[in-house]
Amino acid sequence: MKGKRILLVIGGGIAAYKILELIRRLREQEASVRAVMTRAAKEFVTPLSVASLSGNQIFDDLFSLTDETEIGHIELSRDADLVVVAPATADLLAKLAHGLADDLASTLLLATDKKILVAPAMNVRMWENPVTRRNVASLRHDGILFVGPEVGDMACGEYGAGRISEPAAILAAIEDILRGDTRVALHGGQLAGRRVVVTSGPTREPIDPLRYLGNSSSGKQGHAIAAAAARAGAEVVLVSGPVALPDPPGVATRHVTTASEMLAAVEAALPADMFVAAAAVADWRVAEVAAQKLKKGAQAPVLRLVENPDILARIAQNPGRPRLVVGFAAETENLIDNARAKLTAKGCDVIVANEVSDDVLGQDENEVTIVTRGGTETWPRMRKDHVALKLVAYLAKLLEADHAR
């Protein structure tokens, strides 16, 4: 985002405080930010905070002579790579939908020739009001881009759709759009209306109160898939083993430790349209977990192991089986043959196979081969978050095709 110019229109809502974090992140990525505040916005965050974080003066007055001599409102609206409205209140959306221009913010939105991304934030009743529904439909029709709103608890104590997207999700949408990818922001996502369950990270199987059997899965790939599915509009439940990653934005994350807990959390999250088993589940657990810390003695302890439930196989054979069940296969040899065998043995629809070596585990890149009953395709080595985006787009198409049958 280096050198990209963002014109940020800040509307007046309780969510305005989150925009300070967005500005900080944009600046971290070396984008330049010019902020316009509505009169109401200044009731929620101070112009001084916005100016300090953005490193630029803020603009708020259409008739201010200084503003017009230094930079005119037309120039302000066009001298940007993208216009972002956040929080986009019901009032700002209504003005934008109807071409009203009675203050600096609305005038800029009418005058700009750049793409406009809006991050709505309002009470659920306001979001669901038929007037707002009409405004949103006509804005979408006009090519206005959307990120969010999310479903969740609201500042006013109600629950529903209307929460502003997290700064990370708004940032991701800005990055997509600046890369020229407007599909998600334009159409509301290929997975809109779908429910997706993803497992990620390792599991830990206790030996005694302090020790466990574990593995070195970082969870990066699974977390990236959950985030990508959420960005594609799905309602996502991520069941994560212990990882050092933050919960992805817009995703309901359930934290578990053992394979048995992971299975229970996945079953509780069903029904779903799609299940992606990206976790590195421990194949075995210790049969008798010691109640107290094992002490050194004359003899080293012998641990008896019992097999853990195979979560992927269980879900694939579940009576309420998701329409698409996707597994991972980490192999050190005979990648395709082993992946094919796993597809049949576990009863899933897709296996994402990768050759594991030190340069994949915990790293940011991955090279995968997609194995289905119809054939295989190998994707070039790329960042794990890009594998996630490509995989989600691929799986969304499979779901659509399945739906059409």
- Give the residue numbers annotated as catalytic, written as ranges: 156
What are the start-end ranges of the H helices in 156-301?
167-178, 183-187, 220-231, 259-269
- Kindly write down the DSSP assignment for every residue of 297-340, as one continuous string: -SS-----EEEPP-HHHHHHTSTT--SEEEEEEEESS-HHHHHH
Q: Is 259 in the site for ligand CTP (CB under 6 A)?
A: yes
| Residues contacting ligand CTP: total by CB under 6 A | 15
**Residue 283 C-beta: closest distance to ligand CTP, Å:** 5
**Residue 365 C-beta: closest distance to ligand CTP, Å:** 19
Q: Is 328 in the site for ligand CTP (CB under 6 A)?
A: yes
Q: Is 283 in the site for ligand CTP (CB under 6 A)?
A: yes
At a CB cut-off of 8 Å and minimum separation 6, what does 236 contact? 195, 196, 197, 198, 226, 229, 230, 248, 250, 251, 252
Which string of x and - marks every residue 37-76 that binds ligand CTP (by CB under 6 A)?
----------------------------------------
Q: Is 26 in the site for ligand CTP (CB under 6 A)?
A: no
**Residue 381 C-beta: closest distance to ligand CTP, Å:** 20
- Report the residue number, 139 or 198, with the smaller CB distance to ligand CTP: 198
CA-based nearest residue to 22, from 37, 11, 33, 38: 33
Q: CB of 259 within 8 A of CB of 309?
A: yes
Q: Is 368 in the site for ligand CTP (CB under 6 A)?
A: no
> Which residue in 8, 9, 277, 392 binds ligand CTP (CB under 6 A)?
277
Q: How far apart are CA 151 and CA 334, in angstroms?
A: 44
- Report the residue number, 146 or 328, with the smaller CB distance to ligand CTP: 328
Q: How far apart are CA 298 and CA 50, in angstroms?
A: 66
Burial class (CB in 10 A: 0-12, 13-18, 19+), 281: buried
- Report the residue number, 115 or 346, with the smaller CB distance to ligand CTP: 346
- Report the residue number, 59 or 328, with the smaller CB distance to ligand CTP: 328
> Which residue in 279, 339, 353, 391 binds ligand CTP (CB under 6 A)?
279
Number of C-beta neighbours around residue 356 at 10 A: 15
Q: Is 275 in the site for ligand CTP (CB under 6 A)?
A: no
Q: CB of 146 within 8 A of CB of 183?
A: no
- Report the residue number, 19 or 348, with the smaller CB distance to ligand CTP: 348
Q: How many CA atoms lie within 13 A of 243 on its CB side?
A: 27
Q: CB of 303 within 8 A of CB of 205?
A: no
Q: Is 198 in the site for ligand CTP (CB under 6 A)?
A: no
CA-based nearest residue to 225, from 394, 372, 373: 394
Binders of ligand CTP among residues 114 to 173 (CB under 6 A) are none
**Residue 342 C-beta: closest distance to ligand CTP, Å:** 6
Stretch of 9-17, 113-121, 327-335, 363-371 contacting ligand CTP, by CB under 6 A: 327-335
Q: How far apart are CA 350 and CA 374, in angstroms?
A: 10
> Which residue in 135, 308, 354, 366 binds ligand CTP (CB under 6 A)?
308
Q: Is 360 in the site for ligand CTP (CB under 6 A)?
A: no
Q: Is 191 in the site for ligand CTP (CB under 6 A)?
A: no
Rama region for 239: left / alpha / beta (φ>0; ψ in -120 to 50; rest): beta
| Structure token pair of residue 77 | 């609206």
- Report the residue number, 85 or 259, with the smaller CB distance to ligand CTP: 259
Q: CB of 275 within 8 A of CB of 324?
A: yes
Stretch of 14-22, 225-233, 295-303, 321-329 contacting ligand CTP, by CB under 6 A: 321-329
Binding site for ligand CTP (CB under 6 A): 199, 259, 277, 279, 281, 283, 308, 310-312, 327-330, 342
